Each structure stands twice: as structure tokens, then as C-alpha cells.
């Protein structure tokens, strides 16, 4: 009888009579058949299908399916959930051109050219190479079926590490030969310059220049880029690209809760061994924030639905000037009765003039006081008149002094006092943010400390929020602002006007 299991047929066994030795030989033949065709044995049915205890989880099926139309995909995942297994299995499927019944992703009916990238030669040998081809001396026990590998074409790399594969051919279902090549990040960007490829896979996060070189390789053939990594480097440019998303970008974050094969005991032991600042990255697949998030609160706890700001709310805008970076503005509003502050709107734009930003900010209410940093007084960086005056000239209600804690102490201000106050308000339910402000939350997620100091990268809206917070004592309602601001005066000191109104 021949019994199918996971796509591999059990060797025939006589039902009349057989000895223990026959059984052992039969099982050995079956085990060998499974090891030499893991793809069909372990990936042809999904997890839970027909009581199957192996196979891809639901999230892996979704990740594969996204490849049908998406150019760039990232699987940002916790440790030990199966991210590299998922990525390598997809590469093998495309190389052989044989697709599982459940497959909803892209299908190639011709041979493909694929590159798989890893950090080092050692990482390649022990990681993706083993998953795809098997261990040296056991070639053909990885995801690529042994019968599909052209062993005569297998070339090793001279790199100081033994048995590191450079290229190999794989038989495609159409009858032609797919080509698999390996690259490492330690080779440098120039080694990634070559002819076009259908598939480029990055196992663990690549440097930005190598990522875009790989992306360039698949552009002409309209291929695909596939990343699988635990985001231990924090909010890098590659990570932010995937966090930002887009029409041709897909990101899937997978944590321990998505991996039933991990026991609670095993997870508890691992969790106890990780530093606290690594926990989210290693257990949830959330980008690591250095030594810790500046605002260590649950995002959902500070999020509110969009609402029309009532007229009696006090309001202020924080403005962060951009030079080579984006210019950003954050609108704050206070329900004075409950002492709750809301971030109601946000603006972030790179490469535009002061008049563009001024007009954008005025559309949110030209009467609202605008807080700004001390570098707005720098004439050299703004080319003539200081930036504060240029924005004032374009009709913004600029406060008469730069952002500061005490009115009589100007210049550069310490960062931490404002951040500590905002965090305290967040923890006590008195600082909320409209949940649709995608760019604000993008920065919020990556805002972190390293070596005890706030990392000043991709923090433009965070800075704008901080400036508004520092000057919140000058926030006004629309009625009080109209009374305090003479209609015939364009350039004025709203700080002084506020004092008169109060």
C-alpha cells in the first residue's frame, strides 16, 4: 500500500507478512524520502490542515500571498517564530516552479534568477544555505528537493570559511534551469552590482545602500524583494520605509503569540535572558528602541478618534524648522476643565519654502499662537532675515520668544523636562493623540534613548510637539486670541498680547 503524507508517498510494504527488519528498512526509506523532499513533505499543507502539525502558519500564508502584487515585502519577526523558514521556503518554491495547492502568491512559469543575502559567510552557511540546500555532506536535505539540484553546477566561494556556496542551478518545472546565488553584506555594495534578478532575499536587515542595490536588481524584470529579520537595529531607514508603507510595500510583524510551536516554558526562559530594551524586538517583532522608548506607553492608550476641536479649548502650534530635514508642525489643544491635552493635527514636509509651510499652518487657524525653537533666530541658516521673522511675515501668529521653560531664560533648552511632563500626562490619561496622525505615530514608535540620551533622528514632529508643550502657558482660545490681536497689526508680539488678555 502507498499512503500519501504531506505530499510524499510511503514506500510500498507487503501486507501479507513482514519482519521487524522490513519495517525498519521501510521507515528508513520513508525518512530519507522526506529529508530529500522537505518542500513537499512539510510545506504542501498548511498548519492545522487535516490535523497537520507542520506546514506554514496563517501569517506565513498571508505573507506569501502578498507577493502576488507587491514588489517589496518585509517579515519583521520575533526570534524563533520561523521567519527564515518562511523566506527560504518561498525561494525554493519559485526556484522549482512547483506551487502548493493553497498558494495565493506570485507564480513563475519560467526559470528564475534569485539572490539570497545574509550578513556574513558564516551566517550564510549556517542559515539560509542550510535551509535551502542542507548541510555540507548532506546536500539535498533543505527546502530544494535533492532531485532538482544540479550538483555539477554547484560552486563554492573562496572566503576563509569552508563549504560556502556561491551559485548553483535548480531544475524548474518548466524544464529549464533556475539559478540561485548567494551574497553577503560584508562584501559591500559593489558586489551587489550585477545583472537583473527576479528575486532578491535579505535574511536579517541589510544596510541601506545594499538594500537599494538589491531593489535595483529586480526593477527591470518587475521581480520581488523579500526581507526577513528581527528589527534589533531600531528605527533605521530600511525599517522606517516599511513602517511608512505604500502601494507596493507590505510589512508583516509577527511575534511569539503567532508561533504555537513555542512552549510557554521556553518563552519564559528566553524572556528572562533578554535585556528589557530588547524584549519588544525579540518577542514581538517590534523595532528595538535603543535602551528604551522615550514614551513607554501603549499606543492604544493615548489614541483617540478624530473630533472637531470645541471653541473653548485652548490651542497652540509647535513648529520645528527644517533645513536639510523636513519642517514639522504639531497642533495641541487643551480641555482646560479636565486638564487634558490633545494632539489634533500634524504637518511634516521636506523641501518646501517657508511660505508653503506658513500657508499650510494658517489653514489650521491663523489665530493660533505658534511656538518655535531658538534656532529660528539664526540668520546665517535662513539666508538673510531670521526664520522666525520670515514666518511672521507670511502671517503666522509667531510667539515673541523662542520656546523655553522660563520666560526670562532663553537659548538652547534641555529636552528632558518637557518629555518627562508629557510622559506623566500620557500615563495619567491627560495626553491624547488623534489616531489618524500616521506620521506622528511613526515618529512616536521610533523615539528612543541611547546611552541615556534621546536619539535625534526622525524626530521632527516630536520636537514640534515638545516646543508647543513648553509654551503651552501661551495657548489661547479663538475668542481670547481675537480679542488680544489687533486686526490692523500684522507683526506683533503675541506673548505681550496674551499678558494683556489675561
Specify the range with the lowest mean pLDDT, choosing from 42-46, 151-155, 175-179, 473-477: 42-46
Distance in angstroms (rounded) separating the CA atoms of residues 307 and 250: 30
Unique residue bearing C-alpha cell 509577527: 254
Indicate the pLDDT class of residue 501, thresholds 50, 70 and 90: very low
For the chain, give the percent of residues with pLDDT over 90. 69
Known active-site residue 204: yes
Q: Which three cell numbers stand for residue 32?
A: 530519507
Tell me the average pLDDT across 59-74. 96
Q: Identify the active-site residue in 36, 130, 204, 284.
A: 204
**Over the stretch 80-138, which tens digit does the pLDDT of each residue have?**
999 999 999 999 999 999 999 999 999 999 999 999 999 999 999 999 999 999 999 99
Sign, CA torsion 358/363/369/372: negative
Beta strands in 119-245 (DSSP E): 149-156, 165-171, 177-184, 199-203, 224-229
Contacts by residues 2-10 (CB-CB < 8 Å, ≥ 24 positions apart): 5/41, 6/34, 6/40, 6/41, 6/42, 6/44, 6/45, 6/52, 6/54, 6/55, 7/37, 7/40, 7/41, 7/44, 7/45, 8/33, 8/34, 8/37, 8/40, 8/41, 9/33
CB 105 within 8 A of CB 90: yes
**Over the stretch 208-237, which tens digit does the pLDDT of each residue have?**
999 999 999 998 889 999 999 999 888 788
Contacts by residues 491-500 (CB-CB < 8 Å, ≥ 24 positions apart): 491/392, 491/393, 493/400, 494/369, 494/397, 494/398, 494/399, 494/400, 495/399, 495/400, 495/401, 495/407, 496/400, 498/369, 498/474
CB 442 within 8 A of CB 352: no
Q: Which three cell numbers stand for residue 404?
A: 523655553
Q: Evaluate if pTM is beyond 0.85.
A: no
- The candidate with the shortest Cα–Cα distance to 120, out of 188, 169, 74, 73, is 188
Asked if the model's pLDDT at residue 438 lies above 90, the reply is no
Task: Give residue 177's Cα distance to chain centre.
Answer: 35
Which parts of 178-274 fold into alpha helices (H)?
Answer: 208-219, 237-244, 264-273
Distance in angstroms (rounded) separating the CA atoms of residues 27 and 12: 11
Asked if the model's pLDDT at residue 355 lies above 60, the reply is yes
Distance in angstroms (rounded) separating the CA atoms of residues 223 and 456: 36
CB 432 within 8 A of CB 341: yes
Distance in angstroms (rounded) separating the CA atoms of residues 447 and 60: 29
| Three-state secondary-structure class, residue 17 | coil
Domains and CATH numbers, the chain: 4-35 (no CATH), 43-288 (3.40.50.300), 300-501 (3.30.420.280)
- The candidate with the shortest Cα–Cα distance to 224, out of 116, 99, 86, is 116
H and E: helices and strands count for the chain: 19, 19
- Tell me the pLDDT of the chain averaged across its residues: 88
Asked if the model's pLDDT at residue 192 lies above 80, the reply is yes
Amino acid at each position: 500500500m502507498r499512503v500519501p503524507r504531506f505530499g510524499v508517498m510511503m514506500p510500498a510494504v507487503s501486507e501479507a507478512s513482514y519482519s521487524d527488519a522490513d519495517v525498519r528498512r521501510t521507515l528508513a526509506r520513508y525518512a530519507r524520502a522526506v529529508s530529500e523532499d522537505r518542500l513537499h513533505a512539510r510545506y504542501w499543507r498548511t498548519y492545522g490542515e487535516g490535523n497537520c502539525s507542520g506546514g506554514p502558519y496563517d501569517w506565513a500564508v498571508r505573507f506569501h500571498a502578498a507577493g502576488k502584487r507587491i514588489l517589496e515585502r518585509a517579515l519583521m519577526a520575533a526570534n524563533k517564530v520561523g521567519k527564515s523558514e518562511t523566506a527560504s521556503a518561498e525561494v525554493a518554491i519559485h526556484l522549482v516552479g512547483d506551487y502548493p495547492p493553497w498558494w495565493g502568491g506570485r507564480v513563475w512559469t519560467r526559470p528564475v534568477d534569485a539572490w539570497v543575502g545574509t550578513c556574513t559567510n558564516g551566517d550564510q552557511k549556517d542559515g539560509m544555505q542550510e535551509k535551502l540546500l542542507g548541510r555540507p555532506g548532506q546536500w539535498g536535505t533543505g527546502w530544494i528537493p535533492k532531485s532538482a539540484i544540479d550538483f555539477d553546477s554547484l560552486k563554492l566561494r573562496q572566503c576563509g570559511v569552508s563549504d560556502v556556496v556561491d551559485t548553483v542551478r535548480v531544475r524548474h518545472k518548466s524544464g529549464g534551469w533556475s539559478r540561485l546565488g548567494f551574497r553577503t553584506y560584508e562584501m559591500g555594495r559593489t558586489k551587489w552590482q550585477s545583472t537583473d534578478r527576479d528575486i532578491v532575499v535579505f535574511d536579517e536587515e541589510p544596510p541601506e545602500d545594499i538594500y537599494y542595490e538589491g531593489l535595483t536588481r529586480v526593477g527591470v524584470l518587475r521581480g520581488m524583494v523579500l526581507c526577513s529579520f528581527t528589527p534589533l537595529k531600531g528605527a533605521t531607514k530600511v525599517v522606517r520605509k516599511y513602517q511608512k508603507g505604500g502601494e507596493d510595500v507590505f510589512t508583516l510583524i509577527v511575534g511569539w503569540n503567532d508561533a504555537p510551536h513555542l512552549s510557554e516554558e521556553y518563552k519564559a526562559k528566553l524572556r528572562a535572558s533578554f535585556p528589557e530594551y530588547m524584549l519588544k524586538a525579540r518577542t514581538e517583532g517590534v523595532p528595538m528602541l535603543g535602551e528604551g522608548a522615550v514614551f513607554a506607553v501603549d499606543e492604544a492608550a493615548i489614541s483617540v478618534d478624530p473630533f472637531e476641536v470645541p471653541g473653548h479649548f485652548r490651542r497652540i502650534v509647535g513648529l520645528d524648522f527644517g533645513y536639510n530635514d523636513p519642517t514639522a508642525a504639531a497642533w495641541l489643544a487643551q480641555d482646560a476643565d479636565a486638564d487634558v491635552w490633545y494632539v489634533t493635527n500634524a504637518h511634516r514636509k521636506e523641501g518646501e519654502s517657508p511660505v508653503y509651510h506658513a500657508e499650510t499652518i494658517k489653514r489650521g487657524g491663523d489665530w493660533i499662537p505658534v511656538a518655535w525653537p531658538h534656532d529660528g533666530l539664526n540668520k546665517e541658516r535662513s539666508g538673510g532675515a531670521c526664520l522666525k521673522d520670515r514666518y511672521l511675515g507670511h502671517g503666522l501668529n509667531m510667539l515673541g520668544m523662542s520656546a523655553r521653560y522660563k520666560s526670562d531664560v532663553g537659548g538652547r533648552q534641555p529636552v528632558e523636562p518637557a518629555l518627562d511632563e508629557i510622559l506623566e500626562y500620557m500615563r495619567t490619561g491627560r495626553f491624547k493623540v488623534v489616531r489618524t496622525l500616521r506620521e506622528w505615530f511613526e515618529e512616536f514608535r521610533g523615539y528612543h534613548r541611547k546611552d541615556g540620551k534621546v536619539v535625534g533622528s526622525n524626530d521632527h514632529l516630536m520636537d514640534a510637539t515638545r516646543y508647543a508643550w513648553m509654551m503651552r502657558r501661551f495657548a489661547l482660545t479663538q475668542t481670547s486670541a481675537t480679542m488680544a490681536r489687533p486686526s490692523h497689526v500684522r507683526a506683533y508680539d503675541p506673548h505681550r498680547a496674551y499678558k494683556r488678555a489675561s
